[in-house]
Amino acid sequence: MHMNSNDKNYTNLIDKYVTGKILVTRSSMPGYEEYCEEIRDIWDTHWLTNMGPKHKKLQEDLRVYLGAEKIDLLTNGHMALELTMQALGLTGEVITTPFTFASTTHAIVRNGLTPVFCDIDPESFTIDASKIEALITDKTSAIVPVHVYGNICNIEEIQRIADKHGLKVIYDAAHTFGESYKGAGIGSFGDASCFSFHATKVFNTIEGGAVCFKDETFGNAIYDLKNFGIHGPETVESVGANAKMNEFCAAMGICNLRHVDAEIEKRRLAVEHYHERLDGIKGVRLNKVGDDVKPNYAYLPAVFDPEVFGSDRDEVFAVLAKHNIFARKYFYPLTNTFDCFKGQFDPNETPEALRISKQILTLPLYADLTTEQVDLICDIIISCRK
């Protein structure tokens, strides 16, 4: 069989990155034929982007799935956050947490706003709502909490504080696709909830994102920001950016949405097996799902207490890596310690977040992770005990 050099390089890459390794995640994909069938009519219409039929269908299906009043689709989760903050006209200071992905803090800073970091609750890893009010000043315009690992923030208390002080609430809901809280869809909270459909998330559109909201004026502002402020062939009403989801990504979403419930069920089985193996191990604490939450099993973080377990997080990470198992130090480092913010923030002001970021390891978790693989990972972790 003829193989050109490009094919060979690609094969080398697959060997390097995939074969024989267990990575922290593995993207969900529909069957090849199913995707081909879904994109077939794109060849008939030649409509590749700009809110075509795939975009429209996925948007409505996701609105229902997420329990949102209104929704708009975007190129990725980061642009959902960044443009949402811009559309709400935030000013001055925004209260958030440093225990998150770079995107949350970057979206605040790229809007010319000042992040004010609140500590986290070490049990749920989400913002400690009891510490928010002390951080409010006359410059504060919003709270940006993060539903970390699918753990839902203290929604009632955050809304009470926001209402009392006239603040906007924007949830970074990138980890909570498809969850519900006390029966209400995760897309129904705050002024806006921003989702990521990146390849590594529970539900993906390759790259993609969405914002769920209620207010029509906000919806118009988001639409203008994602499509250059264009209202007609000869009318441009505002200075927008470009953040439209294309038809191929929307088609991937349409396919993946058909299977997402089954994928979440497979994740649940893997998580249950992790719990069976590790719950009794002293010094290891696995994430616990809250009582009122319908979970999505997006991540399985484990907190290693070195005093009790004997080995620290970095040692466990290294031993797993030696066995070709790649967990992730997620979230580490805290965003308030990033090089790009050097000298601007003091991580000692968020001591719980700082401690957790040094003790947490997100273990491999995806729908096709087998019971045998979970056993292997747990055996290695248990062997690190001293």
Ligand X SMILES: *Cc1c(COP(=O)(O)O)cnc(C)c1O
CB 209 to ligand X: min, Å: 5
Angle between helices 102-110 and 77-87 (to 10 degrees): 30
- Is the alpha carbon torsion for 199, 201, 203, 209 positive or negative? negative
CB 199 to ligand X: min, Å: 9
Nearer to ligand X, 246 or 311 (CB): 246
Segment contacting ligand X (CB under 6 A): 65-73, 115-123, 171-179, 367-375?
171-179
Segment contacting ligand X (CB under 6 A): 72-80, 136-144, 243-251, 349-357?
72-80
Number of residues that bind ligand X (CB under 6 A): 14
Do 246 and 229 touch, CB atoms closer than 8 A?
Answer: no
Shortest Cβ contact with ligand X: which residue?
77
Among 175, 244, 273, 328, binds ligand X (CB under 6 A): 175
Among 209, 253, 283, 295, binds ligand X (CB under 6 A): 209
CB 149 to ligand X: min, Å: 9
Enter the tokens of residue 32: 């090849």
Residue in this structure with the two tokens 């993207």, named with its chain if needed: 27
Do the bridges between strand 184-185 and strand 300-304 make them parallel or antiparallel, or are there none, so unpaired?
A: unpaired
Q: What would the DSSP string read from start to end of 311-364?
A: S-HHHHHHHHHHTTB--B-TT-S-GGG-GGGTTT--GGGSHHHHHHHHHEEEEP
Nearer to ligand X, 42 or 206 (CB): 206
Nearer to ligand X, 80 or 381 (CB): 80
Spatial distance between the Cα atoms of 167 and 172, rounded to a whole number of angstroms: 16
CB 82 to ligand X: min, Å: 9
Do 291 and 284 touch, CB atoms closer than 8 A?
Answer: no
CB 164 to ligand X: min, Å: 26
Q: What would the DSSP string read from start to end of 68-86?
A: -SEEEEES-HHHHHHHHHH
CB 25 to ligand X: min, Å: 11
Our CA dihedral for 290, 293, 298, 303, rounded to 10 degrees, sits at 0
User: What x/- string results for residues 138 through 167 when contact with ligand X is judged by CB under 6 A?
Assistant: --------x---------------------
Segment contacting ligand X (CB under 6 A): 101-109, 162-170, 226-234, 254-262?
101-109
Spatial distance between the Cα atoms of 178 and 185, rounded to a whole number of angstroms: 7
Residues of the shown chain interacting with ligand X in the complex, contacts defined by CB under 6 A = 76-78, 100-101, 103-104, 146, 172, 174-175, 196, 198, 209
